[in-house]
Amino acid sequence: MVGAKLVGWLAGAVVACGIGFAASVAGAQTASAAPAGASDGASSHGGTASSARGATSTIARKASPARVQKSVAAPKPAAVAHVARRAQQASAVPAGYSPFDRIVTFKNVPLALPPQMVFFVKQVAGKATFTENSVYDLHNVDQYDWNKLTGISFTFWHHDDNAIMVAWRYNVDTQMFEIGPYYNMDFARIMPTDDEIISVPVGETFTFNADYNGITLQYGDTMVYKPIPEGLHPNQLSAFRINSWFGGTSLPPKTISYYMKLKPWWKTL
């Protein structure tokens, strides 16, 4: 009997221990399951919040005003063609000339290059053409001064004492070049009169002849002849062909160039 009771007690203790162990295992599983669920919920919340922030940011970017692009008007084809044509004309060598016929006057330097001086000449003749590179604007009354294209002087140490010259200038109003006969006599300037001036467009060729009798200029059908003034006495022993010269009073405001082909010097002696 006592043995039966002892067996029964041991069996009860074993059952109680089993129930307690099962309960503890179940509690532990429940406890570990709760944080996992909480973590998932937090993660889900975090994802939702992040998504919400992303949506808010996207909306804010869409709501910001768009940048305004400054529009630049495209140049008109006609204007582009005009500029290109003028640049081509300025750089091209006119027909009937070579690059060696180019006369250049540098900015602020009145004397042109290359030098053209020849002694004992009796005549200076040839042709010339002004280009876009010959245009200049002094922005003052000196624009009416005459530049010296070529000619003959009889006083080496005073070129403006006694001389026979072809003169030129640019008219900013008509946008044409003007040429005329010009004399120096005893330091007096005998300039072209209005009816002795010939207007020449850009790119057009004119001819000239200066000798001991006078000056002849011609462009197309227009011709001017001005005889040598009384009191000017040519002297071949002191005669020389002058260099091209800018002015006048003012210096060249920029580099200026044109084309001139002269009669060979050995044919002018």
Scan for tokens 């920029």, then name that residue: 254
What is the dihedral sign for C-alpha 87, 90, 95, 98? negative
- Identity of the highest mean pLDDT range in 26-30, 41-45, 54-58, 67-71: 67-71
> pLDDT tens digits, residue range 44-58?
334 433 433 443 443
Amino acid 84: pLDDT: 58
Confidence of residue 68 (pLDDT cuts 50, 70, 90): very low
pLDDT score, position 32: 38
Q: Write down the pLDDT at residue 160.
A: 74
Find, among 145, 132, 165, 168, the residue nearest to 254 by Cα. Answer: 132
- Domains identified in the chain and CATH numbers: 103-267 (2.60.120)
**E strands of 3-92, at which residues?**
none
Give me the pLDDT at residue 168, please.
Answer: 98
Q: Are strands 256-262 and 102-105 parallel, antiparallel or unpaired?
A: antiparallel
Q: With the C-alpha atoms ordered 189, 190, 192, 194, is the resulting torsion angle positive or negative?
A: positive
C-alpha to C-alpha distance for 235 and 155, rounded to whole angstroms: 9
pLDDT of 140 > 80? The answer is: yes
pTM confidence score = 0.68
Percentages of the chain per state (helix, strand, coil), in multiples of 5 = 35, 30, 35
- Cis amide leading into 114 (omega within 30): yes
Residues 210, 182 contacting (CB under 8 angstroms): no
The identity of residue 91, as a single letter, is S
Q: Which of 39-48, 132-141, 221-230 has the lowest mean pLDDT?
A: 39-48
Mean predicted confidence (pLDDT) in 225-236 = 95
pLDDT tens digits, one per residue of 166-191:
999 999 999 999 999 999 999 899 99
pLDDT surpassing 50 at residue 5? no
User: Would you say residue 15 has pLDDT above 80?
Assistant: no
